[in-house]
Amino acid sequence: MKMTWGWYRNGAEATLADIQSQVGKGWGDILERLVIDLANLGWNGEVMQVKEKFGVLCFYVGASNAAIRNRIDQAGEESAITCEWCGQLGSVDERYHWMLTLCPQCSEKRRVDTELREAKALERLAEQGTKSTA
Ligand SMILES: [Zn+2]
């Protein structure tokens, strides 16, 4: 079925890959099944926005009905237990101020990457401090 971005992006065509690229790869399968089911429920293919919010997949469409909304809610519930990075079973990781649904391995990777990034930022600040006082 042909999907479009609606007014959100001037009605440009939305491919499945475009839609999947809005969130982490781990949710690609949830989105693929979602758009197929929505098409079967009479969805007109107009998608407004796809994003992650508080660790949950949000899929906004134009015209909808109860069946379409229920199926979208179901995808949101599925995303809440699916690692957004790799698709394994996950849970909401609230360690940092941005909530993400991650599996234990990706959550650990996130912790290591975040600490490394913070350490580098501190190093840069320290270097700048040394230069400005020199
Ligand atoms: Zn993962």
The pocket of ion ligand 1, defined by CB under 5 A, consists of 83, 85-86, 88, 103, 106
| Centre of ligand 1 from the C-alpha of residue 33, in Å | 20
- Greatest mean pLDDT among 63-67, 96-100, 130-134 lies in 63-67
Give the total number of structural domains in the chain. 1
* Residue 35 domain-assigned (yes or no): yes
pLDDT above 70 (res 132):
no
Find where tokens 């999907």 sit: 3
* Residue 90 domain-assigned (yes or no): yes
* Residue 107 domain-assigned (yes or no): yes
DSSP secondary structure, 48-64, as one string: EEEEEETTEEEEEESS-
| pLDDT given at position 134 | 55
| Centre of ligand 1 from the C-alpha of residue 17, in Å | 20
| pLDDT given at position 1 | 83
* Residue 76 domain-assigned (yes or no): yes
| Centre of ligand 1 from the C-alpha of residue 100, in Å | 11
* Residue 20 domain-assigned (yes or no): yes
For residues 96 and 114, the answer to whether their CB atoms sit within 8 Å is yes
* Residue 88 domain-assigned (yes or no): yes
* Residue 1 domain-assigned (yes or no): no
Strand, coil or helix: 101:
strand
Closest CA to 76 of 36, 24, 32, 31: 31
Domain that holds residue 85: 6-133
| Centre of ligand 1 from the C-alpha of residue 22, in Å | 17
What is the mean pLDDT of the segment spanning 77-85?
A: 98
Instruction: Provide the token pair at 70.
Output: 């229920």
pLDDT above 70 (res 105):
yes
| Centre of ligand 1 from the C-alpha of residue 115, in Å | 18
| Centre of ligand 1 from the C-alpha of residue 107, in Å | 7
Indicate the pTM of the whole model: 0.86
